[in-house]
Structure 1
Amino acid sequence: MQVRILLFGVLKDLLPDQPDSICLEAGSTVDDLLQTMQARFAQYFTQTGPAAQGNLWSSIAVAVNREYAPATHRLNEGDEVALLPPVSGGTENPHVALIREPIDTTAVVAALKQGEDGAIVTFDGIVRNNTRRRRTLWLVYEAYEEMALPRMQRLAAEARAKYPIRDVAIVHRLGHLEIGETSVFIAVASAHRAAAFDACRWLIDTLKKTVPIWKKEHFEDGAVWSDGEPFPAELTPQVHPKPSPEPLR
């Protein structure tokens, strides 16, 4: 059977020759697919060592048809399978968006605020001019948009269920960003400040770990995909190498 393969972030650079689809035996699982990918690209890691290969395959998450899937998930003909490096539900919320133009933070807050709110807590993620003492020139953000936006919507719904807040806004920028521009903006409206602070911190921390958005940093001496925060353990199907067959005697 044929399944479609999507690569994002650093995986596109590490596995540049990966075709758009891969052929697997009927009844194959996510683990089988990862085993096949690992074997196919083993030659790449002869230059970087086995540790690099282990780190790659143990850190990715897998989405099948835009939903995270465990290693045991059985694949079907025509499935869309996305391999996601660490990054860096409910009713749709009109304040949740992925955009490519500059984020108007003042307009986001104004659209969210209502008379019953006693507090608006915001997080404004800004492009800084350095990373680990290297001068940053600009950033590029990309996303698995068909999955990222629903995940952001789900986070907004989960925050409203988890904390005594009224509403939230989550806006993430994609594409080319200059130093000083806002990359992600989160606002939480609540009657009381404590719940708004707690929800805002939870939203940005969870977004960074679970929403498939990646950052490429461009420096004076090159460009790299930023190391993302690890996915939660339950989202990363681990590859368990299969024993090699014993040689014929």
Structure 2
Amino acid sequence: MATRARPRSVSRSRTRSFRPFRFLIKMVIGLILFSIAWVAVYRFVPPPFTFTMLGDVLSGRSVNKDWMPLDRIDPDMARAAIAAEDSKFCSHHGFDVDAIGAAMMRNAAGGHIIRGGSTISQQTAKNAFLWQGGGYVRKGMEAWFTVLIEAIWGKHRIMEVYLNVAETGIGTYGVNAGSQRYFKHDASRMSPVEAARIAAVLPLPKKRPGVAPTGYTRRYGNAIVRRLGVVRREGLDACVR
């Protein structure tokens, strides 16, 4: 018995129905490859501009930045950042599960939340490749870029980019520009107090003063100075030396 041929119109309609799906797959693959290439370039090239800087420009502000290699930045600055933001920076692979869990519990309890559970790696991914603010889409992209920079850059480069692109004041980016703004010298020679003050400014750089801080910012900076000694003694900065 002869097999009945399938109508050509049915085959064509099925082919057309798969086209959007194929296009979506190609687009996703293209975005993945582009993100990997982007991260690979920044492994060697300083990020020239960020979306946060663009926001300042669109708001009519000037952008002040002055890249300095990590090996030239005073070691106390990296220690202060680790003490303030991410004490497990050298031991985790981009995410601090305990800190994320604690942040979720604080959010569930309500009240005034000052800090989240983001690591320095996550903050670097956000600052270098994405925009400020929340949302599940941005958080998901942040996680993806965090995985990439941990795999492609390594800790030394992550810290270097973080200390050079993080906002340290209104229109001021990087610890070198911040040190020049607040202390009138570059970041190659910073006292522990100066490094701690910049680290204290990082979570809210548009609201916290780097010079003559008062209230919470002053207390937080003093606490970072004490933790900085712990980071040095326990070698918590070993991965960036």
Please tell me whether Structure 1 or Structure 2 has the larger radius of gyration of its CA atoms: 2
Query: What TM-score comes out, normalization by structure 2 length?
Result: 0.20
Query: What TM-score comes out, normalization by structure 1 length?
Result: 0.20
Q: Higher helix proportion, which one? A: 2
